[in-house]
A and B are shown apart, each in its own frame.
Chain A
Amino acid sequence: DSGVTQTPKHLITATGQRVTLRCSPRSGDLSVYWYQQSLDQGLQFLIQYYNGEERAKGNILERFSAQQFPDLHSELNLSSLELGDSALYFCASSVGFATEAFFGQGTRLTVV
């Protein structure tokens, strides 16, 4: 158990809908990262937050947004969903920068 909790584990939704994925980082970790894993694209970095502030942005679509709350949990919002958004979404956390990150079990999103 990495200490990073993601909910839900599985999500099935229709095209055009909006979903929210939730992540609770390990106790004491200030950085939260979101990654998308698909068969054809591998692990793609989406966004990083540090202590509530956005720190780095990767290949995150405009339809996607995220935030980190004062209690350090984070949410990833995906809207106007398309079939191609079906993937595993991972959250990871770390104490600070340039340190190892610990991953949650992921949320498997299926868009039908």
Chain B
Amino acid sequence: GNSVTQMEGPVTLSEEALLTINCTYTATGYPSLFWYVQYPGEGLQLLLKATKADDKGSNKGFEATYRKETTSFHLEKGSVQVSDSAVYFCALSGMGANSKLTFGKGITLSVRP
């Protein structure tokens, strides 16, 4: 079945540091890939998505590129802010019977001033 693997956390960065969160996946066919963010006490919010190979999703300064050759979808941001402190989830959605969202374990990011 489909699966998503995220790097282990938590991650603590200083404000304005570069962020990279690794995500790799296993799926048959051509899944759609997503990053979700969960702020404390809230539900998950879609951060960005990519639906085919080499697509780049971007939003709020975050970017991720769908790399089929390495089955990866790493999340990057050039300069993090304190307000980016949250839990980040990588997810994929397959086709047909596998259309449900499969999530990675999530990683907690803390950004200190």
Residues of A bordering B, CB below 8 Å: 2, 4, 33, 42-43, 45, 48, 55-56, 58, 90, 92, 97-106
Contact call A106/B95, Cβ cutoff below 8 A: no
Contact call B99/A100, Cβ cutoff below 8 A: no
A98 contact from B95, B103, B106, Cβ within 8 A: B95
Q: List 23 A-B contacts (CB under 8 A).
A: A33-B101, A42-B103, A42-B105, A42-B106, A43-B89, A43-B103, A48-B100, A56-B100, A58-B100, A92-B44, A92-B101, A98-B31, A98-B32, A98-B93, A98-B94, A98-B95, A99-B32, A100-B46, A101-B93, A101-B101, A102-B46, A103-B44, A105-B42
Q: Write out the residue numbers on chain B whose beta carbons fall within 8 Å of the beta carbon of A33.
A: 100-101
Which single residue of chain B is at the shortest CB-CB distance from A44? B103
> In the complex, how many residue pairs between chain A and chain B have their CB atoms under 8 Å apart?
56
Contact pattern, B 72-112, Cβ under 8 Å of A = 1, otherwise 0? 00000000000000000100011111111111011000000
Residue B61, interface by CB 8 Å: no
